[in-house]
Structure 1
Amino acid sequence: MRQLASSARAASSSAPGNVGDVRKANLARVLSVIAAAGEDQRFSRADIAQLSQLTKASVSSLVADLLAAGLVIEIGVHRDGERGRPSVGLILNPARCVMGMEINVDYIAAGLVDLSGKLLAHEILPRANHSAAASEVLAALGELSQRLQVAARAQGLMILGGGLAVPGLVDEERYTVLQAPNLGWERQDLDVAALLPGGRTRFRLFNEANASALAQQQLMDVQERDFLFVSGEVGIGGGLIIDAELFAGPQGHAGELGHVVIAPEGRACSCGGRGCLETIAGQEAILASAGLGAVVDSASRQQRIQQLFQALEIGTEPAVSAVAEAGKSLGIAVASAMRLYDVSTVVFGGHFASLEQWLRPALEASLRVHAPSIAGHARLLCSPLGQTGALVGAARSVAGDLLETPHQLVG
Structure 2
Amino acid sequence: MCSELYEVMMNLVNGFPGGDMMRDRDGGLAMAPGRVGDVRRRNLALVLGCIGPDTRATRADIATATGLTKASVSSLVSELLETGLVEELGVTRAGERGRPGVGLALSSRPVALGAELNVDYLAVGVVDLHGNLHFHDVAEAPNRGRPPGEVLGELSALAARCASAAANAGMTLLGGGLAVPGLVDPASGVVLAAPNLEWRDAELAPALGELAPQAPFGVVLSNEADSAALAELWYGHGSAFGAYLYISGEVGVGGGLVMGSKLFAGPGGHAGEVGHVVVEPGGRRCSCGGRGCLETVAGQEAILAAAGITDGGSTTAARMAALQAALEAGDAQAITAVERAGHYLGIAVVSAARVVDLSAVVLGGHFAALSAWIGPALLSSLDGFAPGVIREEAVAFSELGTTAALRGAAGAALRRVLAAPYALLP
Smaller-chain TM-score bracket: over 0.9
Structure-to-structure mapping, 1:253-272, within 5 angstroms:
253-272=270-289
The separation in 2 between residues aligned to 1:2 and 1:321, in whole angstroms, is 47
Moved more, 101-110 or 364-373: 364-373
For residues 36-86 of structure 1, give each alpha carbon's deviation from its aligned partner in whole angstroms, at most 9, with x where no partner exists: x6x3x3112111111221111111111111111211122213447789986
Q: Which runs of 5+ in 2 are unaligned?
A: 19-33
Matches of 2:163 and 2:125, distance apart in 1: 10
Aligned to 2:336: 321
Q: Counterpart in 2 of 1:128?
A: 142
Q: Does 1:61 align with 2:78?
A: no
The equivalences for 1:332-371 within 5 A come to 332-371=347-386
Q: Which residue of 1 aligns with 2:31?
A: none
Contact 1:234 1:282 (C-alpha < 8 Å) held by counterparts = yes
Aligned residues: 405
CA contact (8 A) 2:51 2:104 kept: yes
Does the aligned pair in 2 maintain the 1:229–1:240 contact within 8 Å? yes
Write the distance in 1 (CA, Å) between the matches of 2:395 and 2:241.
Answer: 13
If the length of structure 1 is used for normalisation, what is the TM-score? 0.93
- What TM-score comes out, normalization by structure 2 length? 0.90
CA distance in 2, matches of 1:306, 1:2: 43
* Counterpart contact for 1:96–1:114, Cα < 8 Å: yes
Aligned to 2:189: 175
Structure 1 residues 100 and 221, CA gap change in structure 2 (3 angstroms): closer
- Looking at structure 2, the residues matched to 254 and 384 of structure 1 have their Cα atoms a distance apart, in angstroms, of 24
Q: Which amino acid aligns with 1:405?
A: A
In the TM superposition, 1:2-21 aligns within 5 A as 3-7=4-8, 19-21=36-38
More deviation in 52-61 or 112-121? Answer: 112-121
Counterpart among 82, 85, 92 of residue 106 in structure 2: 92
Please tell me whether the aligned partners of residues 245 and 361 of structure 2 are also in contact (alpha carbons under 8 angstroms). yes
Q: Take 1:254 and 1:9, find their aligned partners in 2: how far apart are those partners?
A: 23
* Residue in 1 that maps onto 2:243: 226
User: Which region of structure 1 is more displaced relative to structure 2, 139-148 or 361-370?
Assistant: 361-370
Distance 1:7 1:174, change over 3 A: closer
Counterpart of 1:275 in structure 2 is 292
C-alpha RMSD over aligned residues = 2.3
**Aligned partners of 1:211 and 1:379: how far apart in 2?**
21
Does 2:186 match 1:185?
no
Instruction: Give the Cα separation in 2 of the matches to 1:54 and 1:19.
Output: 18
Equivalent residue for 1:116? 130
C-alpha separation in 2, matches of 1:287 and 1:202: 39
Q: Deviations over 1:272-328 (max 9, x none)?
A: 1111110100011100110011374xx522211111111101111210110011011
Q: Check if 1:246 corresponds to 2:260.
A: no
Given that 1:32 and 1:404 are in contact with CA atoms closer than 8 Å, whether structure 2 keeps it comes out as no
Which residue type is aligned with residue 217 of structure 1? Answer: L
